[in-house]
Structure 1
Amino acid sequence: MTRHTDMDPDRWIRCFHPKPGARHTLVCFPHAGGSASYYFGLSAALAPDVEMLVVQYPGRENRLFEEPASSLAQLAHHAAGVLRSLPLIRPVLFGHSMGAIAAFEVARRLEQPFSPAAPAALIASACAAPSHHANRADRLSGIEDEQDTEVLARVMGLGGTAAGVAEHEELVRLFLPALRADLRALRDYRSASDAAVSCPVTVCTADGDPDVRAAEAGEWGRHTTAGAELHLFEGDHFYLGARPQRFMDLLHRTVRTARTGVSFA
């Protein structure tokens, strides 16, 4: 694999539906093992006044032959640098599962020092509060010794991977390195109990999520000085795939009440 450390927006940022006239910008971060294309359907469903940018992590899709990030801190450092270089004004950051932690760490870096790209709001989906991850590290303690099928089973058990994917050896070979790297990064992630952003946080979780309890998600309020609100939806860890109307309404409302963004296109 190739290691790339420069901050070329053409590699780091995908914009599936450019909207030059959009008034609001939503920047999305994928889950562990996920890629930018996970958000294609959500991008297509957004209203005309909201443009989505998706952060593409190294090691997948158009960055398949790059070495995955070794830590969430490294990933956040580079992603924040890329976003700081774009003509963004107070975007809203959205992260699902591991992506919520990545978005949180990117937000902290964009706020210090302050830049026009400092987020107006953070939406954390299907993810326990940052300070809870130290307590959850034992769930991933054996990741180095697990067989490929065991690693895939972790994701399939959450509802996020097609049931037949383990039968396709070539797909598994392409998918596993990034997934393993992401799970190691999650295992090693630590956040201080007082680490916080200065923007409001909207927390979304599902009632049937086997990995995230509502109480853990509710602790996001400890990580913002601007207040947090928790919203519960029906479904599993990947409830987002169904794009429930109540979620879409909440997403649009959150983005529109944040400050105006500038189109990437």
Structure 2
Amino acid sequence: MIASDLRSGVERLGVMIAESSVIVPFTGAGISTECGIPDFRSPGGLWTRNRPIPFADFVASSDARDEAWRRRFAMEPAFAAARPGRGHRALASLYKADKIPAIVTQNIDNLHQVSGFAADHVVELHGNTTYARCIGCGQAYDLPWVRQRFDAAGTAPDCMICAEPVKTATISFGQAMPEDAMRRAAELAQQCDLFLAIGSSLVVWPAAGFPLMARNSGAKLVIINNEPTEQDDIADLVIRHDIGETLGPFVGN
């Protein structure tokens, strides 16, 4: 059912939240745009300005690695200034009320953790851009360490332990999805009674399969997104309005 207007959609969503005991949110880039972080696919999004750098290119080419880090450093002011929006805060309120056991996200901005979710309860399907990892041994590095070495040498640094390339702790095109995160997301989707798909275009697979998995496991499905998605026809409620305005009423005091 597509909500005819924002008010009726919010009222129906409120009833569904009240009637549910286990809610699992699944968030995409749309929840963070009001925080100053641009999305990827929409007009003016990051991918309309820069072609994504596939993982294979990052591994094979020092030039690709340098460009990847230049892009990340260029985005640092936006990431550093971003604070949780109304959508993040509303979900954190439901989490603190024990309605949400954990959250599944395609986002890499760390804003769910900042909003109040314990890090262990944020299932990051596409990783996290607020720190870096060696692609060989997995050693973690903070971004100032990377920036200092990049600026000093003019090239992306390698791992201090195994000498393999260091990359933001995100999942790039062609890189294997994190097995533990995918497993946890599947378990959450199958165990909830209300699944909230928020700010996701639902076109990136296999992540886009989780709303369908939840629906097939008996959960109610709500999709909140400005634009239509391919899964709107299976949803119990579709709200095509601004995410902050839609979820703002659920921000706790």
**Structure 2 length normalisation: TM-score?**
0.30
Asked which structure has the greater CA Rg, the reply is 2
**Structure 1 length normalisation: TM-score?**
0.29
